Amino acid sequence: EGQGGLLDVAIHPDFVKNQLVYFSYSKPHPDNKRLATTAVMRAKLGRAGLSEQKIIFEALPYQSTRHHYGSRLVFDGTGHLFISVGERGNERENPQATDNNQLGKVHRINDDGTIPADNPIKDGSGKVTSLYTYGNRNPQGLALHPLTGEIWENEHGPRGGDEINILQPGKNYGWPLTSYGINYNGTTITDKTTAPGITDPQHYWIPSIGPSGLAFVTGDKYKPWKGAILSGSLRFQYLNLSYLDGTKITGEEKLLKNIGRVRDVRMAPDGFIYVAVEQPAAAIYKLVPIE
């Protein structure tokens, strides 16, 4: 319903040995189908299909809305799984609450669903939580920087103010206390674009492009783009290329204009870029450089 469904798929870094696959999806409440949340399931993929299915994460509390689920999955290379969860449209309560509220956050768990002891945010009783960052609106892209190991994220703003962020442990990314966007009806959400205690975005888009998917260009097949960031645009139906100098975005290009609503972009193990488009015709495209 709404923006719900299958949200992301990730394979374990040691998939060849353990055959583990991870799925994020919108999960209805077992006792009240009017409520749903973002969940992650782990399973083994063998010749006969999936087995040993286990839900290893559920974002609480369940909500009655059917939008802003997030959710992306990315492994950090040290045994941790990052999960992005949207604020489910409840901007006044969820993204800034860190005690028993997991919505509007990015989470960090171990690959078996347990919580790392060195996670940065504790609950009111002093217990370590899965929270890694908070104040996030609706994160639609997560990617591991190939050189620094940092997790980069993109997220939907409201009307304007889509963001690219570098995730730092325990930091507050501002929503809805700060924003470069306005309400969909044109009214003001906040007059602040920055504030004490808020981590500013690395980059923002006005107007909103509706970013979905995030990938760093690696390898030598696309040499002029190497080290740049790719983000899909749902709203304007193109692939966005952001050039980097260190962590600073220095320029952008619009690729594959009018290809359709770009839902995801990935660098595959074969070294090629793949782009998933959902409308007007669902397709996966492989980008092949031409000399």
- Which residues have a catalytic role annotated? 68
Q: Determine how β-strand 151-156 pairs with β-strand 203-205.
A: unpaired
What does the DSSP 8-state code read for residue 198? Answer: B
**Closest to 23 in 3D by CA, of 11, 37, 46, 40:** 40
Say if CB 128 and CB 115 are below 8 A apart. yes
**Closest to 76 in 3D by CA, of 12, 120, 160:** 12
Edge-first strand order for the sheet with 131-134 is 73-75, 80-85, 105-110, 131-134
Q: Is 224 helix (H, G, I), strand (E, B) or coil?
A: helix
First to last CA, the chain: 45
Round to whole Å and give the CA distance between 229 and 215: 6
**Closest to 198 in 3D by CA, of 224, 218, 168, 235:** 168
**Closest to 228 in 3D by CA, of 163, 277, 164:** 164
Say if CB 59 and CB 103 are below 8 A apart. yes
